[in-house]
Amino acid sequence: MTARDRLATTGAWYFTETMTAADAATFAQRIESLGYSTLWLPETLGRDPMAHIAWLASQTTELTFATGIANIFHRHPGFLKQSADTLAEQTDDRFVLGLGVSHKPLVADLRGLDYSKPLSAMRDYLDAMDQSMYMAPPPATPPVRVIAALGPKMLELAAEKTDGAHPYWTTPEHTATARDILGADKLLCVEQKVVLTTDRDAAYAASDQALKMYDSLPNYRNNWKRLGFSDDEIDQRAPRFIDAVVAWGDAEAIQQRLDEHYDAGASHVCIQPLHPDGSAGAPHWEAFEALAPVQ
């Protein structure tokens, strides 16, 4: 079974940055045992995701690993091609390359790099990857390549140059729009935050805590506004806004949201459970278990 085939089953999206390498391996093994097809891992200011995935893949047997996302401004395109092909070959096609332009605060403000034309930068980067040489034994199947795409122009680029898109912090309505832009044959790998609780106040508090990491980033805010939410609704955490971007309730209610994404055209949904007590760094295993593909 290829990585693309495995993406037909629900996956998990999670930060492992607060875990030791050994604990991260134990986490990946448990995610694998629950039947999740793919574990998506971010790139922020912690571990190099490629090296981390190489370690985790060595500790598992069937789980696919995906970058959500690898920042193109941190790597020469030839180097990223080397990393992707190496991981795809050495894991026997258990690797998905998700790449993206990240955000201005992380690229221009923190690293001092040019973020003036992210769409053009992504187009040029993909072209350069395709033209780069790789002289080791190639993987049996070229690694799946998707880009973090929210707006219509980046989604159009995903359709033109890659295997699909990996939207983050979106809604089923966005999924339907993205599918229309991507076309029928491209992968659409959607991240969905979930809170397994019927306590509305707890769900909203956990959602608020998660949103604090993202609500000032223009890429997400602009997309929420395209979806019809005002700045006030985003800043004030209006119930209409939270209910749209976070799936909460019992397992049946959350599964209904995942099904809405699939019905809207998602190829793959990866859940990111938020802990209902607001704590960060500890996986909410109750949610992972309740929503597991293997029951």
pLDDT along the chain (295 residues), means of 10: 92 95 98 98 93 98 98 97 98 98 88 94 98 96 97 98 98 98 98 98 97 96 98 98 98 98 98 92 94 84
Q: Are 31 and 61 in contact (CB under 8 A)?
A: no
Q: Are 245 and 215 in contact (CB under 8 A)?
A: no
User: In this predicted structure, what is the pLDDT of residue 295?
Assistant: 58
- Domains of the chain are 3-290 (3.20.20.30)
User: In this predicted structure, what is the pLDDT of residue 47?
Assistant: 94
Radius of gyration for the chain, computed over Cα atoms and rounded to the nearest angstrom: 18
User: In this predicted structure, what is the pLDDT of residue 1?
Assistant: 83
Alpha-carbon distance 241 to 97, whole Å? 30
User: In this predicted structure, what is the pLDDT of residue 106?
Assistant: 85
User: In this predicted structure, what is the pLDDT of residue 287?
Assistant: 98
Residue 194's contacts (CB-CB under 8 Å, 6 or more residues apart) are 246, 247, 248, 254, 257, 271, 272, 273, 274, 287, 291
Q: Are 291 and 248 in contact (CB under 8 A)?
A: no
Other Cβ atoms within 10 Å of 208 Cβ, number: 14
User: In this predicted structure, what is the pLDDT of residue 99?
Assistant: 98
User: In this predicted structure, what is the pLDDT of residue 221?
Assistant: 98
Packed helices 77-90 and 118-131: angle between N→C axes, nearest 10 degrees: 60
Say whether the peptide bond before residue 69 is cis (omega within 30 degrees of 0): yes
**Tokens representing residue 244 in the block:** 């749209």
**Hey, what amino acid is at 179?**
R
Other Cβ atoms within 10 Å of 46 Cβ, number: 12
- 105, 187, 11, 220: CA torsion to nearest 10: 30
Other Cβ atoms within 10 Å of 22 Cβ, number: 10
Strand partners, 188: 165
Alpha-carbon distance 292 to 295, whole Å? 6
Please give the model's pTM, rounded to 2 decimal places: 0.97
Other Cβ atoms within 10 Å of 259 Cβ, number: 13
Other Cβ atoms within 10 Å of 9 Cβ, number: 15
Burial of 217 (0-12, 13-18, 19+ CB in 10 A): middle
